[in-house]
């Protein structure tokens, strides 16, 4: 009997602690804590089983009763669990550092009470069943231990499902609350034109309600390598936060050797409208719901700042164009010849950025040599007119995707489901790529790669007749003659923009 009681105490302690951990989303700290207190609970469980043996000899509450034993053992384990915290409180009185954790004795007991309660329930359940029924013989004791293990597995399953349901509900409530408060999961990103590197000096997002947030583009390089205007480069950390109603940013333009600062409002309402509304984009097999999750800050020469909202799919919309002022930063540039990467005030770093061909391509370095930086050019790229795409597609083409990339760096995708696309202000197209599959499921495509000087000249010529003029961009795909045509067209005028051949890809591409 002594051996069975001792083994039972070990098994009940281990399984009780294990079952308690299974009910929690346990991390290594909790597992370590359970390991550290296991000798204490082993001791009190040994006392429970051997004291109960003494009860039988003394014939005090010695008749087996699940109800009595369950209540008695639960009170027993609860009292000794609370006693452990009291003992830790007393034992650390002479150590100021260790005592900090237990100084608020009532608070510690209150915080630990859910774990104490769960552990006491498992210990009392396993102990009472073992004492009342299983200690009779090894034939009943061993299957009982196996049943405890199976029970622990079921506890783990139900606890996991319960936590997942609870987490999903909490996530749903948090999402609804964040949406109501205008909070979204997003990151900021830095952009600059090819060959005109910049580096953030200081940045602050100014939110409508929440505290301001100082940011750096810390998830990438301090300057953008292989930069393209409008495309995200170095980023802030992605996190759940409000959208900024204003920003305070100071940056350094290497090409101009100038600091710029913009401290003012941005179009918060447009940002909020876009981020609140998910959109659908087609993928290979089905449609996918996408969201805006990035705000891109484009720093151009002359202190021009363009902001875009970018989606998780193929979508980028301009929020606004803003003008920064030249700024003075009171910090002397070091004359040291030792390179300090990322240090704006290290002359060698400035020299490296302007001569690194991955940052400023050699062709641009040569073209810019002794030439002033054109500030008006970046304003010209943002030029918009009121027009709408209109697709005239051969009847055998049932589905297609049309990707638009504009000179103002906006992106958008249309497909055959887009009917009566509204007339609105749009940039001048840089590239239009349309793809589809023929009857044999072979891929076909059309690529309108517009020459910058030519397409700007044609748009100006068409729209400058009347400041209120509107037009369709009619895109015709003629599979019979193997060609595609893009033209501007309205009731009074039409103007050919480009004609190109249909691309026939390899079979099954």
| Alpha-carbon span 38 to 19, nearest angstrom | 13
pLDDT above 50: residue 509: no
How buried is residue 465: exposed, middle or buried, by Cβ count under 10 Å (0-12/13-18/19+)? exposed
DSSP reduced 3-state for 357: coil
pLDDT tens for 320-364 read: 999 999 999 999 998 888 899 899 999 999 999 999 999 999 988
Structure-token pair, residue 408: 């103002």
pLDDT at 167: 75
The pairing of strands 384-393 and 471-478 is: parallel
pLDDT at 251: 97
pLDDT above 60: residue 139: yes
pLDDT above 90: residue 198: yes
**Of the candidates 277, 274, 251, the residue with the CA atom closest to the CA atom of residue 262:** 251
| Alpha-carbon span 464 to 495, nearest angstrom | 13
Mean confidence (pLDDT) of the chain: 88
DSSP reduced 3-state for 142: helix
Residue 392 φ/ψ, nearest 5 degrees = -110, 100
| DSSP for 166-205, written as a single string | HHHHHHHHHHHHHHHHTEEEEEEEEE--TT--EEEEEEEE
User: Residue 62 — pLDDT band, cuts 50, 70, 90?
Assistant: low
Domain residue extents for the chain: 2-177, 184-372, 383-504
Chain centre to alpha carbon of residue 364: 35
| Residues ≥6 apart with Cβ < 8 Å to 218 | 234, 235, 236, 237
pLDDT above 80: residue 60: no
pLDDT tens for 210-245 read: 899 999 997 667 999 999 999 999 999 999 999 999
DSSP 440: T
pLDDT tens for 404-423 read: 999 999 999 998 888 889 99
Residue 314 contacts residue 322 (beta carbons within 8 Å):
no
| Alpha-carbon span 162 to 160, nearest angstrom | 5
| Alpha-carbon span 305 to 264, nearest angstrom | 12
DSSP reduced 3-state for 13: helix
Structure-token pair, residue 64: 């087996």
| DSSP for 394-436, written as a single string | -TT----EEEEEETTS-EEEEETT--SPPPEEEE-EEEEEEEE
Give, in degrees to the nearest 5, the angle at Cα 131 between 130 and 136: 85
Average pLDDT over every residue of 447-455 = 96
Residue 291 contacts residue 285 (beta carbons within 8 Å):
no
Residue 156 φ/ψ, nearest 5 degrees = -60, -45
| Alpha-carbon span 117 to 125, nearest angstrom | 12
pTM metric for this prediction: 0.70
């Amino acid at each position: 009997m002594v051996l069975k009681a001792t083994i039972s105490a070990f098994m009940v302690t281990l399984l009780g602690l294990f079952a308690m951990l299974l009910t929690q989303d346990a991390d290594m700290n909790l597992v370590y804590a359970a390991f550290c207190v296991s000798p204490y609970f082993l001791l009190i469980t040994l006392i429970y089983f051997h004291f109960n043996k003494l009860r039988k000899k003394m014939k005090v509450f010695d008749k087996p009763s699940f109800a009595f034993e369950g209540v008695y053992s639960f009170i027993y384990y609860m009292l000794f669990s609370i006693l452990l915290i009291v003992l830790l409180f007393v034992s650390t009185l002479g150590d100021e550092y260790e005592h900090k954790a237990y100084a608020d004795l009532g608070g510690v007991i209150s915080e630990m009470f859910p774990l104490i309660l769960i552990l006491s329930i498992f210990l009392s359940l396993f102990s009472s069943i073992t004492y009342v029924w299983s200690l009779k013989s090894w034939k009943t004791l061993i299957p009982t231990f196996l049943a405890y293990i199976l029970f622990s597995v079921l506890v783990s399953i139900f606890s996991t499902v319960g936590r997942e349901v609870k987490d999903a509900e909490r996530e749903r409530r948090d999402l609804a609350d964040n949406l109501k408060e205008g909070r979204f999961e997003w990151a900021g990103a830095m952009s600059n034109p090819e060959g005109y590197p910049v580096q953030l000096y200081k940045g602050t997002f100014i939110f409508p309600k929440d505290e301001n947030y100082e940011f750096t583009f810390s998830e990438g390089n301090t300057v953008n390598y292989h930069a393209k205007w409008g495309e995200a480069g170095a980023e802030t950390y992605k996190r759940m936060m409000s959208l900024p109603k204003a920003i305070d940013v100071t940056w350094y333009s290497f090409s101009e050797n100038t600091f710029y600062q913009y401290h003012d409002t941005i179009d918060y309402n447009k940002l909020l409208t876009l981020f609140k509304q998910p959109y659908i984009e087609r993928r290979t097999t089905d449609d996918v719901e996408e969201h805006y999750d990035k705000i891109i800050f484009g720093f151009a020469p002359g202190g021009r700042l363009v902001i875009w909202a970018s989606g998780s799919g193929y979508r980028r919309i301009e929020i606004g164009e803003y003008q920064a002022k030249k700024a003075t930063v009171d910090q002397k540039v070091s004359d040291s010849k030792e390179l300090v990467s990322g240090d704006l005030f290290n002359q060698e770093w400035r020299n490296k950025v302007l001569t690194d061909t991955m940052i400023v391509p050699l062709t641009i370095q040569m073209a810019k040599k002794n030439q002033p930086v054109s500030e008006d050019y970046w304003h010209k790229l943002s030029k918009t007119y009121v027009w709408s795409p209109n697709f005239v597609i051969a009847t055998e083409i049932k589905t297609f995707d049309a990707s638009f990339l504009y000179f103002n760096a906006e992106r958008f995708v249309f497909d055959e489901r887009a009917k009566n696309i509204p007339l609105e202000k749009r940039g001048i197209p840089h590239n239009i790529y349309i793809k589809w599959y023929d009857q044999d499921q072979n891929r076909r495509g059309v690529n309108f790669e517009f020459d910058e000087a030519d397409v700007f000249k044609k748009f100006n010529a068409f729209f400058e007749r009347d400041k209120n003029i509107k037009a369709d961009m009619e895109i015709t795909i003629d599979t019979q003659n193997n060609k595609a045509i893009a033209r501007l067209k309205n009731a009074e005028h039409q103007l050919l923009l480009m004609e190109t051949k249909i691309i026939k890809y390899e079979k099954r591409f």
